[in-house]
Amino acid sequence: MNKDFLSVSDFNKADVMHLIRLAIAMKNQTSWKTAWDENYANGYSKSHDIKGRDKHLSLIFDKPSLRTRVSFERAMQKLGGSSTFLSKDEIQIGKREEIKDVARTLSKMTDVIAIRTTSHNDLKEFANFSTVPVINALSDLEHPCQALADLMTIYEKFGKLDDVNFTYLGDANNVSNSLAIASSLVGMSFTFCGPIEFSLNDIIIDQCHKLNSDSLQIVDDPSLAVKDADVLYTDVWASMGDETSIEERRPLFLPYQLNSDLLNITNKKQFIMHCLPAKRGNEITDEVIESENSIVFQQAENRLWIQEAIMNKLINRY
Ligand code: CP
Ligand code: NVA
């Protein structure tokens, strides 16, 4: 297995399904062995356990966070370990010190490192120099922990991932990239629908097609994209760092807003998802995010459980 978790594609389908089952077992406080038994059937070795006693997590965050920071810190505490949070101003990577020096220093003092930064290339450079596992806590390219928490949430609702029709509306960003790759990996149908100027890029499309030629669809018309969907997902129209462009983006994105008119196109029960934070009145209306089919806080909670499972796997290297 890969040392790091920088992209959803660092795991294979069996890894992802195992992590989801393990996270659900931990959440439901059932014996972790239940998850392990299924896992064993998939050919995993018997050698791993849930353990993080005395392990230490370093968090390096260049950007704001609520869910990711708290869920990582709490997950490590639940595993029996501890954590240190390091903000942009403290380390000043690239200014006070080079990435490769920070990576090698922290590797001597810590067992796993979670990084939230703009540049995915910086993340890769850091991971190359780190001797301990590095986890992508959000980059410009991907948000893989979010995607696995989202798959876990869908699995909780449907008891399966294949045969689920998932539609993402809005901006092709770190979240949609990871969700598109994750869907292709596990065989879930993923429909992207957003302004052509902000659509999925060719690298992500190729990556999805290589994993599964049938999973990804790109649809222009929002009414067609939502018609057969079981799950509707959206994220902000301008990600952290791009917020100043929101006024010029709004007219382009407005047709893709998750609102009750769009939901009324079908009578089907459709779950509403959003990674949060949300800009109500932009990508989603207050009415829709507060509706009974909204599962946004279940998603938020699942960050905790899936990251506990991810760190357990990476630290214990099974
Ligand atoms: N969804 C998510 O990553 O939230 P934060 O930015 O608050 O961590
Ligand atoms: N796409 C958003 C996700 C926030 C969790 C951003 O990068 O700001």
Same domain, 48 and 65: yes
Are the CB atoms for 2 and 135 separated by under 8 Å?
Answer: no
User: What was the pLDDT predicted at 38?
Assistant: 56
Would you say residue 256 lies in a domain?
yes
Report whether pLDDT(313) > 80: yes
Token digits of residue 227: 């018609």
Token digits of residue 235: 């994220």
Would you say residue 90 lies in a domain?
yes
Same domain, 60 and 47: yes
pLDDT in tens, 268-301: 999 999 999 999 999 999 999 999 999 999 999 9
**What is the tally of structural domains in the chain?**
2
For residues 9-26, average pLDDT: 94
Which residue, judged by its Cα, is nearest atom 3 of ligand 1?
Answer: 68
For residues 239-244, average pLDDT: 94
Same domain, 71 and 94: yes
pLDDT in tens, 161-190: 999 999 999 999 999 999 999 999 999 999
Single-letter code of the amino acid located at 21? R
Would you say residue 214 lies in a domain?
yes
Same domain, 213 and 274: yes
User: What was the pLDDT predicted at 39?
Assistant: 53
User: What was the pLDDT predicted at 95?
Assistant: 86
Domain that includes residue 201, residue range = 146-299
Mean pLDDT score across all residues of the chain = 93
Same domain, 257 and 159: yes
Name 239's Cβ contacts closer than 8 Å, sequence gap at least 6: 140, 171, 173, 174
Q: Which-ligand-closest: CA of 274?
A: 1
User: What was the pLDDT predicted at 47?
Assistant: 41
Same domain, 137 and 150: no
pLDDT in tens, 102-139: 999 999 999 999 999 999 999 999 999 999 999 999 99
Would you say residue 205 lies in a domain?
yes
Q: Which-ligand-closest: CA of 273?
A: 1
Ligand 1 atom nearest residue 66's Cα: 7
Q: Which-ligand-closest: CA of 303?
A: 1
Report whether pLDDT(27) > 50: yes
Closest CA to 145 of 252, 304, 35, 260: 304
Q: Is 239 in the pocket of ligand 2 (CB under 6 A)?
A: yes
pLDDT bin (cut points 50, 70, 90) of residue 92 is confident
Same domain, 182 and 195: yes
**Beta pairing, strands 231-234 & 165-169:** parallel
User: What was the pLDDT predicted at 46?
Assistant: 39
209 Cα to the center of ligand 2, angstroms: 24
The pTM is what?
A: 0.94
Ligand 2 atom nearest residue 242's Cα: 8
User: What was the pLDDT predicted at 37?
Assistant: 56
Would you say residue 158 lies in a domain?
yes
235 Cα to the center of ligand 2, angstroms: 7
Same domain, 272 and 310: no
CATH code at position 41? 3.40.50.1370
Same domain, 136 and 162: no
Same domain, 246 and 265: yes
Q: In percent, how much of the chain has pLDDT > 70?
A: 93
User: What was the pLDDT predicted at 157?
Assistant: 98
Closest CA to 67 of 314, 312, 289, 275: 275
291 Cα to the center of ligand 1, angstroms: 21
Q: Quote the CA–CA distance of 117 and 94 in Å, as a whole number.
A: 12
Distance from chain centroid for Cα 44: 24
Same domain, 289 and 312: no
Which residue, judged by its Cα, is nearest atom 7 of ligand 2?
Answer: 239
Same domain, 39 and 109: yes
pLDDT in tens, 34-74: 555 555 444 443 344 566 778 999 999 999 999 999 999 99
Closest CA to 186 of 35, 2, 12: 12
42 Cα to the center of ligand 1, angstroms: 32
User: What was the pLDDT predicted at 43?
Assistant: 43
User: What was the pLDDT predicted at 53?
Assistant: 79
Would you say residue 135 lies in a domain?
yes
Report whether pLDDT(194) > 50: yes
Q: Quote the CA–CA distance of 74 and 58 in Å, as a whole number.
A: 13
Would you say residue 3 lies in a domain?
no
The set of protein residues with a Cβ atom below 6 angstroms from ligand 1 is 65-68, 138, 146, 275-277
Are the CB atoms for 165 and 228 separated by under 8 Å?
Answer: yes
Would you say residue 2 lies in a domain?
no
For residues 5-9, average pLDDT: 98
40 Cα to the center of ligand 1, angstroms: 33
Pocket test for ligand 1, best of 61, 66, 74 (most atoms within 8 A of CB): 66
Q: Is 283 in the pocket of ligand 2 (CB under 6 A)?
A: no
